[in-house]
Amino acid sequence: MKQHQQLRRLTAAALLAAFTAVATLVIQIPTPTKGYLNLGDCFVNLAAWLLGGAYGAAAAGIGSAMADAISGYGIYIPATLIIKSLMAFASYEIYHKLSEKGSFTARVTAACTAEIIMILGYAAFEAVLYSSAAAALLGMSSNLVQGIMGAASSVVIYETVLKRIPQFHSR
């Protein structure tokens, strides 16, 4: 990759990491499990689709982990970094493999798969953190709502806005 292209991708990744953090922080709807619903997952998927696997995963993981740090959820930072990075990487890979079947179907499948990774990832982390499968299962309902919001918003934003911008639609 040429140096100027790499710099552009790195800059875009930094911006999307910041957007992910801001989207996570701006609207936080508390859940009964002491977590919160937010729009960060929307940018996790968008980062994947706009930047590709590696850069998208870095932007998603770093941006989401920064939001945990700022929000006072320090114990979640390592898990968030890993889970959100895996979400973005999977979202890109699945979209990339299915895109010949159609953009919309591929994006919905990719976003839903990414959100399943989030739900299961945090359930596993919380089962270990709290030494309780019951606590992990309790958090899954809030994460399911978070996942639905993230998948729906990312697909809608991409399909209605970003898809219409030629330089973004090339992926």
- In this prediction, residue 82 has a pLDDT band, given cuts at 50, 70 and 90, of very high
Residue 169 pLDDT > 60: no
Query: What would the pLDDT profile of 22-77 be if each residue is shown by its tens digit?
Result: 999 998 888 887 778 899 999 999 999 999 999 999 999 999 999 999 999 999 99
State whether the Cα torsion 71-20-56-103 is positive or negative.
Answer: positive
- In this prediction, residue 170 has a pLDDT band, given cuts at 50, 70 and 90, of very low
Query: What would the pLDDT profile of 63-77 be if each residue is shown by its tens digit?
Result: 999 999 999 999 999
> Domains, the chain, ranges and CATH?
3-169 (1.10.1760.20)
Average pLDDT over every residue of 1-8? 86
Cα 139 to Cα 31, 81, 114, 167, distances in angstroms: 9, 18, 17, 39
